[in-house]
Amino acid sequence: MAKSYGTVSAEQKLKMSGLAFVQGLASGALPLNTIARTLGYDVTEVERGRVVVTLVPTDAHLNPAGTVHGGLTATLLDSCMGLAVQSTLDAGTSQTTLEFKISLVRPITPDTGPIRAEGNVLNCGRRIGTAEGRSPTSRAGCSPTARRRA
């Protein structure tokens, strides 16, 4: 199914479990958010408490130093972690980022090749969920990591 971009209505989201919502994003049954279109990323793997987001970096993602802007990496990690938390929630429940910290180990360039950011839920309580995100990129030895509370 071809991907589309936009928003899912609040009424539709209220009827879906978090897992069904995130699976819909990955399958193309639901539209991805517009930042996914702007940056060129996709939700590619989903299971309860775990989500993978992928992107192929291009020259459009570069900072003045000629490497991929750290904000792109931060967005990928925030997205995969947030969706991982969302995948554990009941219908009618949503989440948003409270805080997150990122450690950028090595630069990413278009030559790095495809980027894979994986978010995993560490704990999901009644009000706050904590997730960890990693982006192991074998070619350049990059492994940015992040932690997020939602």
Residue 5 lies in a domain: no
Chain segment 7-41, per-residue pLDDT in tens: 999 999 999 999 999 999 999 999 999 999 999 99
pLDDT over 90 (residue 76): yes
Q: From residue 44, give the alpha-carbon distance in Å to each of 23, 24, 26, 124, 147.
A: 9, 11, 6, 22, 21
Q: Provide the domain limits for residue 53.
A: 10-149
Full-model pTM: 0.90
Chain segment 104-119, per-residue pLDDT in tens: 888 888 998 999 999 9
Residue 39 lies in a domain: yes
With tokens 């009644």, the residue in question is 126
Q: From residue 51, give the alpha-carbon distance in Å to each of 7, 8, 114, 142.
A: 19, 19, 16, 19
Residue 68 lies in a domain: yes
CA pair distance 108, 130, nearest whole angstrom: 26
Q: Give pLDDT, residue 136.
A: 74
Residue 23 lies in a domain: yes
Residue 34 lies in a domain: yes
Residue 3 lies in a domain: no
Residue 4 lies in a domain: no
Number of domains in the chain: 1
Residue 31 lies in a domain: yes
CA pair distance 9, 142, nearest whole angstrom: 37
Instruction: Indicate which CATH number applies to the domain containing 122.
Output: 3.10.129.10
Q: What is the DSSP string of 9-43?
A: -HHHHHTS-HHHHHHHHHHTSSPBPHHHHHHT-EE
CA pair distance 77, 100, nearest whole angstrom: 10
